[in-house]
Amino acid sequence: MTELQLKNRIELFLILSHSAFILLVVALYVFGGFLFAEMTTAIALMVPMLSIFITAVIKDFPLNSTLKTVPSPFVAKEYTLQKVQFIAFFIPSFLTFLLSASILLKAFNLGFASFEQFKIFLGVSETAFGLYGGFMLSSLAKKVNTKLGELNANILWIELADPELQARCLPADKTDSKLWDSAVRTAGVILEERLRKLGGITDAHLTGPNIVNPLFGKDGTLAKKFRVDSEREGYRNLYAGIVGALRNPYAHRLIDPTPEDAMASLIFVDLLLRMFQDVYTSPDFTASPKEKSL
């Protein structure tokens, strides 16, 4: 059983128990155990707490739906909560027994000298339910949110194919936008350095988009790799665009991207590095497999 499942079961228990209290009071009123004013007063003391528990369940609907969409192994991981389960259900079970017994005692005029005494006891019991529910449910909610944060971070943590990109660009703290800013900036540097190295560019003054034309221009060092000129032009535009749109902004400004945006940028750079490697190592990159075998 996970923390979220335990939280859901406690909420369901509290809702069902309070609904049963109200039905019990109404049934005893029908059989003459309570006056009408006594019945309405008792219900008025119990309805607010029932409303709070129902609201808690409604607030959990989006969270339950989110975790149901997450693939294994994240939702399949179990946690040992046996001791917590005992405490979690013993206290409300005891309070439920106590409150049910008090309602029956009052209906048969036993144990309470007046309705005022019963009303005070009912108010104290509902306060105890509220303290229990507030402490237990809020504690479990914090644990669930912590687990969900870890889950989201693990989903973002995709292994990159390029070893250098993997080693240099994935931050230790996956939630720190400043570290992701540095990660994307480093990825841009790796891309530019790889273009320089494999393209044989030695001019240190060429930076950014200016290093793309010597590689993918008509007379570029990689131009002969393409048999289709439009594809060569497409590669030139692609790499010039990504260097200008991704490398330059991060090199000159503090972007502080969200982890999702930063990881998407790293994945795209990873793809560009693989595509560039394919062009560099292929004798005739745009030839069809059949043509290459000839």
Each residue's pLDDT tens digit, 25-38: 999 999 999 999 99
My answer on whether 148 and 219 are in the same domain is no
Cβ-based neighbours of 72, under 8 Å, separated by 6 or more: none
pTM for the whole structure = 0.52
Please write down the long-range contacts of 126-134, taking CB distance under 8 Å and 24 or more positions apart: 126/45, 126/46, 126/48, 126/49, 128/95, 129/14, 129/18, 129/49, 129/92, 129/95, 130/49, 130/52, 132/91, 132/92, 132/95, 133/10, 133/14, 133/49, 133/52, 133/53, 133/56
**What's the pLDDT score for residue 82?**
60
| CA–CA separation, 115 and 174 (whole Å) | 59
Q: Taking residues 19-47, what's their average pLDDT?
A: 95
Is the per-residue pLDDT at 240 higher than 80?
yes
My answer on whether 208 and 276 are in the same domain is yes
Number of domains in the chain: 2
- Short-list 209, 241, 224, 203, CA closest to 280: 224
Q: Which two tokens stand for residue 75?
A: 């939702």
**What's the pLDDT score for residue 36?**
95
Q: What residues make up the domain containing 99?
A: 3-156
My answer on whether 133 and 200 are in the same domain is no
Cα–Cα distance list, 56 to 8, 126, 221, 270, 286 (Å) = 9, 17, 64, 43, 59
| CA–CA separation, 70 and 150 (whole Å) | 13
My answer on whether 150 and 169 are in the same domain is no
My answer on whether 127 and 25 are in the same domain is yes
**What's the pLDDT score for residue 16?**
94
Residue 79 or 141, more confident: 141
**What's the pLDDT score for residue 141?**
78
My answer on whether 51 and 124 are in the same domain is yes
